[in-house]
């Protein structure tokens, strides 16, 4: 099995009203919100200046898990999914392929949702 990294590299706010959420976070915190791509609005929190991390606002189907999730970088997403499942996690969205990365959503044994991301 490959080494699993585990660095928190981003966050995602899940909302059925992403435009409203984008306006709120932009106005209140000064975050820069990009135009949507695949129903995902990338967020810049100016992490280089203040030590934060970037993220995004996602709109999925109505059964999409709501709330805030961290995204955890892994070297091998299939291995990380298997190890998480062996330790009580539930897969909410299996591995999805995007241009530059793979992404999956899981829920830990206590009900907390998180994302796994592997760069290509």
Domain edges within the chain: 7-119
pLDDT at residue number 69: 87
Yes or no: domain 7-119 corresponds to CATH 3.10.180.10: yes
With cut-offs at 50, 70 and 90, classify the pLDDT of residue 64: low
Please report which confidence band the pLDDT of residue 98 belongs to, taking 50, 70 and 90 as the band edges: very high
How sure is the predictor about 80, in pLDDT bands with cuts at 50, 70 and 90?
very high
Mean pLDDT of the chain: 88
* Interatomic CA distance for residues 8 and 42, integer angstroms: 16
Q: Where are the alpha helices (DSSP H) in the chain?
A: 18-29, 47-50, 77-86
Query: What distance in Å separates the CA atoms of residue 113 and residue 107, rounded to the nearest whole number?
Result: 4
* pTM for this entry: 0.78
Above 90 in pLDDT, residue 59? no
The burial class, CB within 10 Å (0-12 / 13-18 / 19+), for 80 is: buried
């Amino acid at each position: 099995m490959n080494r699993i990294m585990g660095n928190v590299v981003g966050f995602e706010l899940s909302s059925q009203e992403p435009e409203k959420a984008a306006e709120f976070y932009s106005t209140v915190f000064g975050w820069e919100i990009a135009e949507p791509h695949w129903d995902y609005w990338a967020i810049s929190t100016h992490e280089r200046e203040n030590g934060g991390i970037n993220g995004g606002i996602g709109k999925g189907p109505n059964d999409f898990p709501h709330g805030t999730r961290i995204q955890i970088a892994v070297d091998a997403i299939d291995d990380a999914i298997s190890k998480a499942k062996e330790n009580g996690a539930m897969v909410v969205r299996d591995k999805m392929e995007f241009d530059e990365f793979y992404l999956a959503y899981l829920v830990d044994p206590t009900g907390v949702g998180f994302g796994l991301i592997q760069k290509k």
